[in-house]
Amino acid sequence: MEIILKYFKNLSDRQKEQFAQLMPLYKEWNEKINLISRKDIDYLYTHHVLHSLAIAKYVNFKPGAKVMDLGTGGGFPAIPLAILFPETQFYAVDSIAKKIKVVGDISERLNLTNVEAIVSRAESMKIKVDFVVTRAVAELKELTQWSMKHISQQEKHAIPNGLIALKGPMFKQEAKLLPKGDFVDSYAISKYFPESYFEEKYIVYVQGRG
């Protein structure tokens, strides 16, 4: 997990311990459920944990903020972000119950009291949050449609509330399909993390019309 310490130097001892536990916990669960490909599990910290934490380079979640991870899968980006922002509440949402079971178990074993693991589809949720975050779930048009009804009108951050999606280069085509009133911004993750894995990866922010 040296790569996490390289880019996040001010972690508490507890946070360092929680990040260190991620590898054994995910390896244990990956033996039971194929959350992460067998080849990819050895790159957990770069490909999954650090990738999730790119969002923290874009926005510094405030204490008391609420964030929904839509289509969380095995808990990315929710769990790494919850470790980094212990005073922010994260709702890890996925329609697949066995994945949410993993998120709940890992959160409990890490003593992450700021993660609520929820089995649900986005359209069935009634939670209001400051931001929806997501990683490798769907195209921007769908993500925006699912997300905007959950966005609170009460602003706490320098960046207006909205959707923050971790995307590949296809987001440029996807953004053309959004309604004209939606504001879209993007940042190359390689700006923050120069490792080759991030060359074609982006943070995409959407402020929709709601």
In the chain, where does DSSP find H-type helix?
2-7, 13-30, 51-58, 78-84, 97-109, 140-147, 171-175
Cβ neighbours of residue 31 closer than 8 Å, sequence gap 6 or more: none
Q: Starting at the edge strand that comes first in sequence, how are the strands of the sheet with 66-70 ordered?
A: 115-119, 89-94, 66-70, 131-135, 162-167, 202-207, 183-188
Q: Give 126 or 203, the one with higher predicted confidence.
A: 203
Amino acid 208: pLDDT: 77
Structure tokens at 124: 């069935």
* 97-108 residue pLDDT tens: 999 999 999 999
**CATH ID of 2-207, from 3.40.50.150, 3.40.50.300, 3.40.50.720, 3.60.20.10:** 3.40.50.150
Q: Provide the residue ranges of all domains of the chain, joining segments of one domain with +.
A: 2-207
